[in-house]
Amino acid sequence: MRFRNLNEENLKTIYPNTGIKLQELVQEEKKEYIEQYNIYRSLFVEFIIEKLDLKNYDEELEKSELRYLSSNIENMDLYQYFSSDELKFFYIRNNMYIEKLTEEERNWLNERIKNKNYELDNEAKEFIEDTYEKVIFEDVLRDGSKCITLFGPDSSNYLAKNDAIVIGINYDEFNLNGLNDDEWSELYFKQSANLYSIIEKMRSEMKNKIDIPVEVLKYNMFSIKRRN
């Protein structure tokens, strides 16, 4: 699979941010952190795409007669941008807090980086399986306890458990795409109703595919932080 690397400016836009601040690191530490972040995210995202069959849901929208349009790269947040070569509409909205990894686990990442081995082989699957729950955990209360938190603007539409896998969906819903206002409004409501059905189906089906909570949240151009 192909994923896009994120840089320091991109990582400044993560929300919520309950982990380390990059500006607190010296340059060499920062470089290592970003390299480890990118390889961990690539392995985790590929793992989740496979585990939750995200490509099937993505293709369902892509092939729909309702003409969903994918967002332009300029209108994506870092999360969607990262996997935009693999998925057109869905993406993993979780943050990665690789500072929670042990020294041994981070050394494992360094070996992979050194050998340019980014493959999600059996060893990598086992590594992700053993570590991802602590890496994605949003410790918003700073005491390790579970709660509900925001993965976007201050709205109930963006609430999820702080230990959940969060799947985002974003498409270019306000693009007229050659339609007049009445035609666009009719299509918009059909798209919204269909998407609601797909999201409910995803929530139901994903319960049987993974052992931790999964939430699916719909975003648009007004509820994301564009990449710096």
Across the chain, the runs of DSSP E, i.e. the strands, are 90-92, 148-150, 159-161, 165-169, 214-218
> H/E element holding 65?
none
DSSP 167: E
pLDDT score at 2:
85
The answer to whether position 202 is within a domain reads yes
- Does the pLDDT value for residue 228 go beyond 80? no
User: Which residues constitute the domain of residue 188?
Assistant: 8-218
Model confidence over 167-202: pLDDT tens digits? 999 999 999 989 999 999 999 999 999 999 999 999
Rounded to whole angstroms, what are the CA distances from 74 to 64, 77, 78, 95?
A: 24, 8, 10, 20
The total domain count for the chain is 1
Q: 3-state class of 207 per DSSP?
A: coil
The answer to whether position 78 is within a domain reads yes
The answer to whether position 224 is within a domain reads no
The answer to whether position 65 is within a domain reads yes
Model confidence over 64-103: pLDDT tens digits? 999 999 999 999 999 999 999 999 999 999 999 999 999 9
Rounded distance between C-alpha atoms, residue 62 and residue 137, angstroms: 31
Model confidence, pTM: 0.96
The answer to whether position 153 is within a domain reads yes
pLDDT score at 177:
87
Longest CA pairwise span in the chain (Å): 59
